Amino acid sequence: MKIDLHGKTALITASTGGIGFAIAQGLAESGAEVVLNGRSEASVSRARDKLNAAVVGAKIHTHIADLSSAQGVETLLKGLPAIDILVNNAGIFGPKDFFATDDETWEAYWQTNVMSGVRLSRALLPDMVKKGWGRVVFISSESARNIPVDMVHYGVSKTAQLSLARGLAKVVAGSGVTVNSVLPGPTISDGFATMMADEVKRTGKSLETLGKEFVMSQRPSSVIQRAATVDEVANMVVYVCSTQASATSGAALRVDGGVVDDIV
């Protein structure tokens, strides 16, 4: 199977690092024009340079916008090229005791993890439907189904994304546009590195070793018994954005290393 996305333009939110950047790279390698999004001039230009070096001839747009508010999403929507593929990757995560999680934190998770995708889908899906082709992907998490006791606020936002993706798939049924969610498990991204920074300093262990230890202690049901790489997650996303994935819509696709102890 050869995935060819020449002629398609993809917006990947929060794509200056981590899983988002790997998705942008995977889509660019498949020929798509990509729109990188980040919150600062420095981060987007660093990401553009990195992508240019990785994919010769890549067609790259950059848009600075903070997607944690309606206003930020409006900023992103201004001046965007026509979008065929929307990857809602922007997401924040971090452990916090339920009883110490205040309304402000709940609201921040809701706005960034859920509402950014609601707002972008509402703005971009109608043109995809008009054209009769489009792809929308929500980067959810195994935590949508396997709610972490130390991140209930995060789990709730990730379960909401599954509901949103399934609902939107039904809204655009029969149009040629597919909407899906992808559920990564623990993945060694920039965000994961930040979460583990103190541990790296304290123990001198590599991120891969700490990723494996995290999986074995916190997600022992993992079948691969290690954390995934960002490229392993991106591969699934690139496939679901491909023309070949035309019969997959309304699905929740796991790239969680088997953490969710369930057959389907």
Which residues does the annotation mark as catalytic? Answer: 154
d(C-alpha 262, C-alpha 260), whole Å: 6
Q: Nearest approach, Cβ of 66 to ligand NAD (angstroms)?
A: 5
Beta carbon nearer to ligand NAD, 30 or 181: 181
Residue of this chain nearest to ligand NAD (CB atom): 91
Give 170: exposed, middle or buried? Use CB within 10 Å, 0-12, 13-18, 19+: exposed
| Using rule CB under 6 A, residue 190 touches ligand NAD | yes
Handedness of CA 4, 240, 246, 174 (dihedral sign): negative
Task: Pick out residues in 118-177 that bind ligand NAD (CB under 6 A).
Answer: 139, 141
DSSP 93: -
180 lies in the binding site for ligand NAD (CB under 6 A): no
Nearest to ligand NAD of 29, 190 (CB atom): 190
SS (H, E, C) 117-164: HHHHHHHHHHHHHHHCCEEEEEECCHHHCCCCCCCHHHHHHHHHHHHH
Please identify, using beta-carbon distances, which residue of 58 and 114 lies nearer to ligand NAD: 114
Q: Is 17 a residue that touches ligand NAD (CB under 6 A)? A: yes
**211 sits near ligand NAD (criterion: CB under 6 A):** no
CA angle 36, 15, 256 (to 5 degrees): 145
- Residues binding ligand NAD (CB under 6 A): 14, 16-20, 37-39, 66-68, 89-93, 112, 139, 141, 184, 186-187, 189-192
